Amino acid sequence: MIVLGIDPGYDRLGLAIIKQEAGRQELLYSNCFTTDKKNIFSERLLAIGNEIEKILFDWQPDMVATEKLFFTVNQKTAMAVAETRGIIIYLSAKYGLPLAEYTPLEVKTCITGYGSADKKQMADFIPKLIRIDQAIKHDDEYDAIAIALTAFASK
């Protein structure tokens, strides 16, 4: 089984492809896709949709997993992330892929056993669960890996 994990965002979008065979997970791909801040929001959403479709075509995942929206103080940012999630939900349905959604608490608890884990704790713990052979530049990428791993653990 192959899972596409997505950490939704309109500025940075974490992406991870993890394959599980015989109970063992392997990280096949991960990236932090960024949109051009100079572009209008609709162009940024289009770029995100195009990138996700490219990943779906290239890797042919069996499932998509993403993070449920966590409302912060900045409602403008929350709305933009919600619109990004709309693209993820739409593309999952368009390609007939099951969609799993997890709260940050669920992901942190699954990965570290502690629902209040911080970004550093998550980044320290993830390589203990899955081998990572590349440099991770942004925490969004770690988050996408964690979301995909949560999907496997939740099955």
Q: Which residues are catalytic?
A: 7, 67, 140
* 88: its two tokens: 């993820």
Q: Is the dihedral of CA 58, 59, 63, 64 positive or negative?
A: negative
Residues 72, 86 contacting (CB under 8 angstroms): no
CA 46 → CA 73, 102, 121, distances in Å? 26, 24, 33
Centroid of chain to Cα 137: 15
How far, in Å, CA of 82 to CA of 31, rounded? 21
Q: Is 34 helix (H, G, I), strand (E, B) or coil?
A: strand
